[in-house]
Chain A
Amino acid sequence: GAGVSQSPSNKVTEKGKDVELRCDPISGHTALYWYRQSLGQGLEFLIYFQGNSAPDKSGLPSDRFSAERTGGSVSTLTIQRTQQEDSAVYLCASSSLLDRDEQFFGPGTRLTVL
């Protein structure tokens, strides 16, 4: 079956521009995570959606970052006024209690801010 997909796979933008990153989770998965991974570093948690509950935004690094999940499925991570330090790979994962909460990751979006 289809796994988690993310788009675009690569994004190059200029400092100060806004970007939108998309995540399509596995159908039926109620939980969705966004992470950020800088080169050679571990995963940095950004935000967590679980069903209809209010999202856990505790990992968002600044108010320039926001995310939404429409209809409990597709999620969009938006970064406003991008900065060079935002350059990283942004990973999305989804999970389900029916799959022992195993997080299935997408291929990521590599963001480069010039």
Chain B
Amino acid sequence: LAKTTQPISMDSYEGQEVNITCSHNNIATNDYITWYQQFPSQGPRFIIQGYKTKVTNEVASLFIPADRKSSTLSLPRVSLSDTAVYYCLVGPMNYGGATNKLIFGTGTLLAVQP
């Protein structure tokens, strides 16, 4: 399973764009990149998933360079309610057996200030 590395924490202010980068140097050909968000006292929830280039949804954008050894989650114009832990996961989509699973790391704590 590809190991991921993220900053432990980041600070931002309301209205700013926030970019959180995740390194995954040994990503495999069939691995996808998925980001989750976790608020205090809640389970994580899916934000966005991609394989290459750029993916955008109503919440965030995900930028993946050609070598796929890193990815950047971009949150436009953050608000106080975006304060949460953000996890980057890398793993295959086609789960074929019991050993295929995604592992959550420690994540990045984003603190948005007024």
Determine if A50 and B98 form an interchain contact, defined as CB atoms under 8 angstroms apart.
yes
Distance A18 CA – B95 CA, assembled complex (angstroms): 33
| Total residues of chain A contacting the partner, CB 8 A | 27
Determine if A43 and B44 form an interchain contact, defined as CB atoms under 8 angstroms apart.
yes
Known: A48-B101, A93-B43, A106-B43. A101 touches B95 (CB 8 A): yes
Residue B100 at the chain A interface, CB threshold 8 Å: yes
Q: Which of these, A42, A53, A101, contacts B97 with CB under 8 Å? A: A53
Determine if B106 and A42 form an interchain contact, defined as CB atoms under 8 angstroms apart.
yes
Q: Which of these, A50, A55, A105, contacts B100 with CB under 8 Å? A: A50
Q: Which of these, A45, A56, A105, contacts B44 with CB under 8 Å? A: A105
Residue A2 at the chain B interface, CB threshold 8 Å: no
- Tell me the interface secondary structure of chain B in the complex: loop
Chain B, Cβ-Cβ closest to A44: B104
Residue A62 at the chain B interface, CB threshold 8 Å: no
Determine if A107 and B43 form an interchain contact, defined as CB atoms under 8 angstroms apart.
yes
- Interface band, chain B: 20 to 34
Distance A107 CA – B41 CA, assembled complex (angstroms): 8
25 contacts between A and B (CB under 8 A): A31-B95, A33-B101, A41-B106, A42-B85, A42-B87, A42-B104, A42-B106, A45-B101, A49-B98, A50-B98, A50-B100, A53-B97, A55-B98, A93-B43, A97-B94, A97-B95, A100-B93, A101-B102, A102-B49, A103-B36, A103-B46, A105-B45, A106-B43, A107-B43, A108-B43
- List A residues at the B interface (Cβ < 8 Å): 4, 31, 33, 35, 41-43, 45, 48-50, 53-56, 91, 93, 97, 100-108
- List B residues at the A interface (Cβ < 8 Å): 34, 36, 42-46, 49, 85, 87, 93-95, 97-107
Please give 20 more A-B residue pairs, beta carbons under 8 A apart, in addition to A31-B95, A106-B43. Answer: A4-B43, A42-B104, A42-B105, A43-B87, A50-B95, A53-B98, A54-B98, A93-B43, A97-B94, A97-B95, A101-B93, A101-B95, A101-B102, A102-B34, A102-B46, A105-B42, A105-B44, A107-B42, A107-B43, A108-B43
